[in-house]
Chains A and B, each alone.
Chain A
Amino acid sequence: MSITEGRLSRADLLKAGAAGALGLTFAGPALARGVRIDGTTLNMLTWSDHYANDQLKAVAKAVAIQGRPTLFSDNADAYLKIKQTHGQFDIVSGDALWVPKYHKDGLTTSFPLSEIGTSKQLYSIARNFPFWKDGSNYMGYPFSWSTVQIYYNPKYVKTKPDSWHALLDPKYKGKISLENIPTDVMAIAARATGGKKPYSMTKAEISRAKAFLKEFKPNVLKLASQNNEVVRALADGSAWIGITNLGTDDRVKDAGGPVVKTAYPKEGTIGFIDSEQIVKASGKHDAFFKFENQMQQAKWIAKNFITNGRPLFNEQAYKILVNTGHGDRARRQYYNQPEKALKMTIKGPAGDEQAYVDAFNEVFG
């Protein structure tokens, strides 16, 4: 019966539904075969600046291992996801002191760096971070680093803001942009208020940090979900000051924005040293080594620097940058001075994460 001939009976509807379901059942695998990627797939829990799509495609072609990224913003979020999903992810990116926490809690496994041939291209300091050593093994493959500092537009900000307290000036009302990462914002506030261990503040120190943020809040234009929003706000002039990673000056310029200058607060700052780690429950450890060996090739790392602007640990990539006319830019971002990475307060898990998030929300709600 055609549906145009009259009412569709229930029996006809059920028959049509059953036929459709059967069709899909048989057609599904056939269609899936048409789009399947042969080889291994590695699920990565990472940041958007750790890969490029053309890089993933090229690596898949070279070693038949497809990287499938899922993004996260805060280390705490990634940590809990790995903890709760067991072997669903194969690779997880992590910052500085988060890496030993993952390892200590049995979520990742250490490995000899020599398993990844491209590790020879790394600066020697990056192969010897004491906090990532596990006997002769390493807990993660070193990737990039950056301090978090103040960038300002000299057209509007006449006095260099060389202190976190300079940002409390009412003349900057609604003109400062920074990333919405509660733990790190609290750690910056700890630096500003003399907290001894910015990621392990005492209750009294948390109160002082919170009071600082309360005073700071009117000057905040927006808490950006991604770093590129801070770049955009500086580029279009809606923000005069950004609290963000190295390389922002170049990225603002690339986005057609004004010249922005950098200022290092005298109280010190925080920063990250990040890495790629093997998830212990993954079961694809050999594929990890092959995959990272391709992903971390100097040519890709040099491209990554040009796109994202902050220094990385691959020394050979620095040589490529120098040879291709990007040496000045790389030096300006301290690419050739990886030892600077150890002079900042490196990111790590908060002693009492709940107290950090509560205090942050209570200020910015």
Chain B
Amino acid sequence: MLDTATTAPATARGRSRLRRASRLVQYAGFLPALGLFGVFFALPLGLIVAYSFWETIDYNVVHHWTFDNYHYFFSVSTYVHTMWATIWVSVLATALTIGIAFPFTYWLVRYVRRGALQRLLLVLVILPFWTSYLLRVYSWLNILGDGGAINRFLQWTHLTHHPLSFFLYDRPAVILVLVYLYFPFAVLTLYASLERFDWDQFKAAMDLGATPRVAITRILLPQIKPGITTAVIFVFIPILGEYLAPQLVGGAQGVMIGNLIVNFFTGAQYTRGAAAALLIAALIVVLLVVFRRSLEVEDPYRA
């Protein structure tokens, strides 16, 4: 029979093993995500990084390490110009999307009674997701085109006698379609934020003499800032890499950087394409770092 002095360390070792095992089990749930992102994100990203420093010679990707692809990108004004155009199109489309989505969501949360009607309106917002992305973009050709709904209406009302062609195949068409495409993302994100907001604080501010504008800017907006930032991230970042919308409705004047990257890949210039794609990715990382500060929630009741 073992005495207490010998069993105590053994029990302690057993407890320590259990604690370690318990800690490992905690991370078990993380493994599938780690596998998925490791194999399908980190590894391909690593390959893209490597490609961006290699060369393409006679349809062969040659493993000569070089900065040539990056140097080429910045030495040609077309790419820099298109990059800037992509950024301002993304900024404008994001601002418009949030600008339209915020008042709608505010109205939905504040004035529509929670229940069947609110749910129905939310379903209507996400209704476009029931059709394919391609179809949603393509349908705009039938609205904005020469023979599209707008031109037919204008001619039917005799406001014009010939189709107006400036609705389609230029940057305004791209921005319009992008706002339409990303509106549901903005609404859903803002809804999640506004729905949790304590409206009694808003009423208290009004009771204490704040105008609605002041109550919105000093009480509501600071508290839902993480929600707005998330909405901006969900809208702005995908727009930066957009290819299909500018391809279908942008025409020769509405080209974004994604379209030029596709040209590199279809022309088998994988190394040039990888460098351009990584520059977009780098820009997104920088923006995420900037946005991260806005995602930190301040305690409204802090002493």
Contact = CB atoms under 8 A, between A and B. Distances in A.
B146 A174 contact: no
Interface in A8-29: 10, 14, 17
Interface in A340-355: 349, 353-354
Interface in B49-65: 56, 58-60
Interface residues of A, number: 39
Given A236-B147, A354-B56, A362-B78, A73 B252 contact: no
Contact of B59 (A79, A222, A232, A236): A79
Contact of A183 (B58, B165, B267): B267
A101 to B, nearest CB: 8
B59 A238 contact: no
Contacts, number: 109
B146 A357 contact: no
Interface in B127-179: 141, 145-148, 163, 165, 168-169
Contacts of A361: 78-79, 260, 263-264
Contacts of B269: 353-354, 357-358
Nearest to A183: B267
B268 interface: yes
A355 B168 CA distance: 31
Interface string A207-248: 000000000010011110100010010001110000000000
B266 A181 contact: yes
A305 interface: no
A238 B78 contact: no
B268 A238 contact: no
B169 A80 contact: no
Contacts of B59: 76, 79-80, 83, 349, 353
B252 A353 contact: no
Interface string B267-300: 1111010000000000000000000000000000
B29 to A, nearest CB: 8
B146 A77 contact: no
Given A181-B266, A238-B165, A356-B267, A365 B78 contact: yes
Contacts of A163: none
Contacts of B270: 80
Interface in B231-254: 247-248, 250-253
A80 to B, nearest CB: 4
B87 to A, nearest CB: 14
Contacts of A131: none
Interface string A170-202: 000010000011110000000000000000000
A353 B267 contact: yes
B252 A223 contact: yes
B302 to A, nearest CB: 29
A209 B272 CA distance: 21
B72 interface: yes
A238 B247 contact: no
B255 interface: yes
A357 B263 contact: yes
B146 A76 contact: no
B163 A221 contact: no
Nearest to B251: A222
A357 B269 CA distance: 8
Contacts of B253: 174
Contacts of B251: 174, 220-222
B12 interface: no
A77 B267 contact: yes
A360 B267 CA distance: 10
Contact of B265 (A77, A180, A236, A237): A77
B28 interface: yes
B272 A357 contact: yes
A364 interface: yes
B33 interface: no
Nearest to B167: A238
Nearest to A356: B267
Contact of B255 (A14, A73, A364): A364
B189 to A, nearest CB: 27
Contacts of A232: 141
B20 interface: no
B163 A237 contact: yes
A174 B165 contact: yes
A162 interface: no
A232 B141 CA distance: 10
A10 B25 CA distance: 9
A205 interface: no
Contacts of B272: 354, 357-358
A361 B72 CA distance: 12
B248 to A, nearest CB: 8
Contacts of A223: 252
A317 B81 CA distance: 51
A76 B263 contact: no
A357 B76 contact: no
B71 to A, nearest CB: 13
Nearest to A83: B59
A324 B148 CA distance: 36
Interface of B: 25-26, 28-29, 56, 58-60, 72, 76, 78-79, 81-82, 141, 145-148, 163, 165, 168-169, 247-248, 250-253, 255, 260, 263-270, 272
8 contacts: A14-B25, A174-B251, A183-B267, A236-B145, A236-B148, A353-B56, A360-B263, A365-B78
The 3 A-B residue pairs whose C-beta atoms are closest, nearest first, are A357-B267, A76-B268, A365-B78
Given A238-B168, A360-B263, 11 more contacts: A83-B60, A174-B165, A174-B169, A180-B263, A181-B266, A220-B252, A225-B247, A237-B147, A238-B146, A361-B260, A362-B78
Interface of A: 10, 14, 17, 72-74, 76-77, 79-80, 83, 174, 180-183, 217, 220-223, 225, 229, 232, 236-238, 349, 353-354, 356-358, 360-365
